[in-house]
Amino acid sequence: MVAAASVVTVIGAVTGTISALDHGRGSDQARRPEVTGSPTPVPAVPSPPPSPPGTTRTPTAVPRHRLPTAVPTRTAGRKRQRTTVVTPLLYRHPDSQVIDWVRAHPGDPRTALIESRIADRPAAVWFADFSPDTIAARVRTVTAGAAAEGRVPVLVPYVIADRDCGGASQGGAPDLAAYDAWIEAFARGLGSGEVIVILEPDSIAQSDCLSDADRAARFASLARAGRTLKAANPRARVYYDGGHSGWNPAAKQAALLKEAGAASFDGVFSNVSNFRPTAEEIAYDRQVLDALGGPRSLGAVIDTSRNGNGAPPDGQWCDPAGRRIGRAPTLDTGEDRIDAYLWVKLPGESDGCKGAAGTFTPSYAYDLAR
């Protein structure tokens, strides 16, 4: 799957990218999924690797437009009310590869830095295995944990049929009918609280590999998925695949998003697992949103997990040297129409060069965190 990344900070945020899969551990555990050449398993969940920018392949791999809640307060001696903005915090799921590594290596000289700069930050939870019988329970484990803490979880369904067009992160549901049923089960675990859904990274930006008929069928399925998620939990914020600023031109990406019905939901996400600078993504996402049309409330979320130094000049996408984490995850970006900076891809989970794809590699995490 192809993705792009950039990072942000969140006060009180807590930990890394996770996926939920039935890989080796109980089905009630949520973690980053494990996918061939990209995402990782449920229990120890890594995120998918990015695909080379400018190619039709993408790496494996939300906020409410304004999640803050207005709390009226009385001003002494006056009847007039003043509004205090309370920003919900993102959720750090306690089950991830980086947290496991930190706990298992208290004496490693790299541990303190990796813990403070990566493990203690909130990150997305990936669900990349096709497991219709257990998916609702695994999603519910994450959303219930977030609700208990009053935080907002970020979930990544990554099971679309023909995922990654047969590339490193190939896999997913056997067909779109099975995918529709899987999404219905996924939605049953959403609960009733605020939740951000990053719906199928690369499913739209990478759709050029499909025939016209297959692409139309996929986009219809993605539109159904959005409706299913919203029907199950109206407070869910559903974002659609916007690729990234080095991939499709904004007008082309917007046209594809429109075909998938994205204008009827909450907006777009960009830079998943990639390295494009945050400023470039902000400009690009606004262009996409303008071309997409729809209500002014549509916004964008940006993966900032590895874009601190921007994209490598040689176009390298597989664990490129010299990269850094970006801004920490936050729902308060201060930027018009940019709803959040998120860590969708967890820093330190390899694209497949410095370690097995989707697995946590401490040397890589340390380099990104320094």
Lowest mean pLDDT among 24-38, 136-150, 192-206, 333-347: 24-38
Average pLDDT of the chain? 82
Closest CA relative to residue 191, chosen from 129, 141, 124: 141
What value does the mean pLDDT take over residues 132-152?
98
Q: Residue 366: its pLDDT value, please?
A: 98
The answer to the question of whether 182 is labelled as a binding residue is no
- Name residue 302's beta-bridge partners: 270, 341
Q: What 3-state class would DSSP assign to 71? A: strand
Active site residue 202: yes
Q: What 3-state class would DSSP assign to 89? A: strand
Q: Residue 87: its pLDDT value, please?
A: 64
* Helical H segments across the chain, by residue range: 97-104, 111-114, 135-149, 176-187, 212-232, 250-259, 278-292, 362-369
The answer to the question of whether 194 is labelled as a binding residue is no
Cβ pair 159, 172 in contact under 8 A? yes
Residue type present at position 314? D
Lowest mean pLDDT among 31-45, 47-61, 306-320, 334-348: 31-45
One DSSP character per residue, 218-232 reads HHHHHHHHHHHHHHH
Structure tokens at 263: 């204008």
- What phi and psi, each to the nearest 5 degrees, are found at residue 335? -115, 130
Cβ pair 232, 195 in contact under 8 A? no
Strand 195-198, strand 236-241: pairing: parallel
Please tell me the distance from the alpha carbon of residue 203 to that of residue 317, in angstroms, as a whole number: 19
Q: Residue 88: its pLDDT value, please?
A: 77
Closest CA relative to residue 329, chosen from 317, 338, 318, 320: 338
Q: What percent of the chain has pLDDT over 70?
A: 76
Q: Choose, from 164, 303, 319, 351, the residue flagged as catalytic.
A: 351
Please tell me the distance from the alpha carbon of residue 10 to that of residue 216, in angstroms, as a whole number: 38
Q: Choose, from 164, 202, 339, 367, the residue flagged as catalytic.
A: 202
Lowest mean pLDDT among 1-5, 64-68, 173-177, 201-205: 64-68
> ∠ CA(293), CA(213), CA(55), 5° rounding?
70
SS (HEC) of 251-272: HHHHHHHHHCCHHHCCEEEECC
pLDDT at 45 over 90: no
The answer to the question of whether 345 is labelled as a binding residue is yes
pLDDT at 22 over 70: no
What value does the mean pLDDT take over residues 241-250?
98
53 confidence band (pLDDT: 50, 70, 90): very low
Closest CA relative to residue 325, chosen from 369, 273, 281: 369
Structure tokens at 283: 């400009």
Other beta carbons less than 10 A from residue 322's beta carbon: 11
Q: Residue 242: its pLDDT value, please?
A: 98
The answer to the question of whether 307 is labelled as a binding residue is no
The pTM score is: 0.81
What value does the mean pLDDT take over residues 287-296?
96
205 confidence band (pLDDT: 50, 70, 90): very high
Structure tokens at 308: 């601190």
Q: Residue 285: its pLDDT value, please?
A: 98
Query: Each residue of 220-229: pLDDT tens digit?
Result: 999 999 999 9
Q: Residue 86: its pLDDT value, please?
A: 53
Distance, CA of 123 to chain centre: 8
CA neighbours within 13 Å on the CB side: how many for 351?
Answer: 25
Domains in the chain, CATH or no CATH each: 97-369 (3.20.20.40)
The answer to the question of whether 343 is labelled as a binding residue is no
Query: Each residue of 107-116: pLDDT tens digit?
Result: 999 999 999 9
Q: Residue 186: its pLDDT value, please?
A: 98
